Amino acid sequence: MTERNSRPEWDVYFLDIAALVARRSTCLRRNVGAVLVRERRILSTGYNGAPSGLRHCLDIGCLRDQLQVPSGERHELCRGLHAEQNAIIQAALHGVGIAGATLYCTNQPCVICAKMIINAGIDSVVVRDGYCDELACEILGEAGIRVTTL
């Protein structure tokens, strides 16, 4: 933003929307939001939480906490889907093509999400925060996907 113009830049605008989406998260450990955008138009959103129709960690507790699984490890030991996964799935469910899109996410994608991002044809990722999964960063770079942290 400039002093004369208080309108946020596009990347900040979409990251702010991702932060709002994250407020719907049902994860007890980390609230993450994701927004898929192409040509400044929102295609899909997602937040982390249990699949549709299943009980959420907010209601029954966190399996990862119960098993004392460290953050960033053993993603399969979780009831929830990641925000990035939910944004991709929602687009597919509603027939919205996302090839060439930018993913805005409140946190750095993990390696599982990075592989989905690559195969979904997403061109770039803009993140606000989060741990850096070294393998995720490596494969996104190898795939030519630009990752920007704001």
Q: Which residues are catalytic?
A: 84
Q: Which two tokens stand for residue 116?
A: 């989905």
- Where is the binding site, in residues? 82, 110, 113
Angle between helices 134-142 and 111-119 (to 10 degrees): 20
Q: Are 45 and 35 in contact, with CB atoms under 8 Å apart?
A: yes
What are the helix and strand counts (H, E) for the chain? 6, 5
- Where is the binding site for Zn(2+), in residues? 82, 110, 113
Query: End-to-end CA distance of the chain, in Å?
Result: 13
What is the Cα–Cα distance from 48 to 33, expressed in whole angstroms? 7
Instruction: Output 64-68 pairs: Cβ under 8 A, ≥24 positions apart.
Output: 64/29, 65/28, 65/29
Please name the amino acid found at residue 27: C
